[in-house]
């Protein structure tokens, strides 16, 4: 992390990360805030931007390129799992009129999405994967904590 903070990406990551913490503090600590859902959405957009800046900051080592295609097997697995999750979710939508429960397909898609995101994070940090495709795979994974935390903050 210390190598990231000495770059422009590092300073931008710190600034946006601080804004994220403030937004989440307002959402969780102050119960009577009007437009709480808008602050919650802004906090998750800021969190996504913080993570993207951090990931790009780790890829900016001298002489290191950020390619498009994954270079490791784990990077390809991450991409394949997220694409398969989208396909399973779409297939579930097509089969609902035939009486197949959507919960089955959405549960499988959620498991695949979380597994793909975990594989992408491990590939990025442990296997030095530096591809835009793996970075883009992590964006849909941000939907999982967004929805889960939203259910807690805004219960029906």
| Residue with more model confidence, 43 or 153 | 43
Write down the mean pLDDT value for the chain: 82
Mean pLDDT, residues 94-116: 87
Residue 20's pLDDT is what?
85
Residue 60's pLDDT is what?
57
Residues 130-147: pLDDT tens digits?
A: 888 888 888 888 888 888
Residue 64's pLDDT is what?
67
Asked if pLDDT for residue 118 goes beyond 70, the answer is: yes
Asked if pLDDT for residue 103 goes beyond 80, the answer is: yes
| Residue with more model confidence, 33 or 18 | 18
- The answer to whether the CB of 103 falls within 8 A of the CB of 117 is no
CA distances from 155 to 77, 117, 149 (A): 35, 26, 10
DSSP the chain: -HHHHTSHHHHHHHHHHHHHHHHHHHHHH-TT-TTHHHHHHHHHHHHHHHHHHHHHHHT--TT---BSS--SHHHHHHHHHHHHHHHHHHHHHHHGGGT--HHHHHHHHHHHHHHHHHHHHHHHHHS---BHHHHHHHHHHTHHHHHHHHHHHS--
Query: pTM for the complete prediction?
Result: 0.71
The domain locations on the chain are 1-64, 66-156
Asked if pLDDT for residue 1 goes beyond 50, the answer is: no
Residue 74's pLDDT is what?
93
Q: What percent of the chain has pLDDT over 90?
A: 15
């Amino acid at each position: 992390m210390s190598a990231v903070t000495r770059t422009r990406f590092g300073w931008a990551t710190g600034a946006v990360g601080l804004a994220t913490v403030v937004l989440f503090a307002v959402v969780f600590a102050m119960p009577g805030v009007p437009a709480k859902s808008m602050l919650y959405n802004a906090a998750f957009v800021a969190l996504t931007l913080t993570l993207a800046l951090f990931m790009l900051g780790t890829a900016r080592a001298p002489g290191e390129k950020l390619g498009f295609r994954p270079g490791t097997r784990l990077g390809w697995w991450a991409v394949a799992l997220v694409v398969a999750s989208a396909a399973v979710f779409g297939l579930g939508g097509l089969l609902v009129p035939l009486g197949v429960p959507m919960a089955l397909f959405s549960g499988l898609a959620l498991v695949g999405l979380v597994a793909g995101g975990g594989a992408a994070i491990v590939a990025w940090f442990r296997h030095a994967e530096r591809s835009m495709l793996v970075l883009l795979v992590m964006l849909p994974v941000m939907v999982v904590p967004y929805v889960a935390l939203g259910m807690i903050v805004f219960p029906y």
